[in-house]
Amino acid sequence: MNHQTKVAELRSALKTSIQHHKISKKVSSKIKSPAKKSKEANDSEAVLTEEVEPSVSPSKLTCRDVGTQMDNNPIEPNLTTVPEPFDIEALEQLLQDTTVQALDSKPLDDLQSCLSSLRAQISGLQDQIDAHSATIQNSGESWRDVEAQVVELQQVVQTVTNTTSCSTLTTAVAAQSESSQSNVPDTVDI
């Protein structure tokens, strides 16, 4: 989970907490103020109930009596408000200020786009280095092939040279042997 998501969750939780405190204050203030007025309201409801009771059937009378009893003895809910360890107005102002700043300045977005650009450039340079390395390797292999062909060619030349020397020597020996045979008389007397 990235930091922006966590910040958004914390902001939402803080807003919810502020709303809860505001609502609980309103409810507690409404409950406390009617408690004083409840005696006056109960007296007037009792008079109204007594006037309506004769026209109501016995089954409804029981329900009405129970309702009157509850109205005569109002139950005050035990709603306790947690004391605020913080100033709500200050928190609301802080939330508003940080929201405006978050929308106005986006240095992280700029930084991320810069990093993306750098990554793309580095990737391009790496591709160029790989292509250059492959070219050098192919060139080295080509030179090794050329050197091997040169060595083979040198061997062929040496063989041809040796063969030519041998044939010259053979020709010289053959000529010498012919000349020595011509000096020998054709007939030999015995």
Domain ranges across the chain: 3-101, 121-175
Residue 85 pLDDT > 70, yes or no? no
- Neighbouring CB atoms inside 10 A of 160's CB total 10
Give the torsion sign (CA, 170, 173, 177, 179): positive
Res 30: pLDDT: 80
Res 99: pLDDT: 67
Res 162: pLDDT: 84
Q: Give the CA angle between residues 38, 43, 46 to the nearest 5°.
A: 120
pTM, full prediction = 0.30
Res 125: pLDDT: 95
The percentage of residues in the chain with a pLDDT greater than 70, rounded to a whole number, is 61
- Distance from C-alpha of 163 to C-alpha of 157, rounded to nearest angstrom: 10
116, 70 Cβ separation under 8 angstroms: no
| pLDDT per position as a tens digit, 67-81 | 444 444 445 555 555
76, 31 Cβ separation under 8 angstroms: yes
Identify the weakest region by mean pLDDT among 46-55, 104-113, 166-175. 46-55
Residue 45 pLDDT > 80, yes or no? no
Q: How far is CA 175 from CA 30, 60, 140, in A?
A: 143, 158, 52
* Long-range Cβ pairs for the range 66-74 (8 Å, 24+): 71/42, 71/45, 71/46, 72/42, 72/45, 72/46, 74/35, 74/38, 74/42
Label residue 35 left, alpha or beta by phi (over 0 means left) and psi (-120 to 50 means alpha): alpha
3-state helix, strand, coil in the chain (%, to 5): 85, 0, 15
What does the pLDDT average to over 103-109? 68
Which of the four pLDDT bands, split at 50, 70 and 90, describes residue 38? low
In the block, residue with structure tokens 């609301």: 92
Which of the four pLDDT bands, split at 50, 70 and 90, describes residue 58? very low
Residue 155 pLDDT > 90, yes or no? yes
Q: In this predicted model, which residue has the larger pLDDT, 135 or 43? A: 135
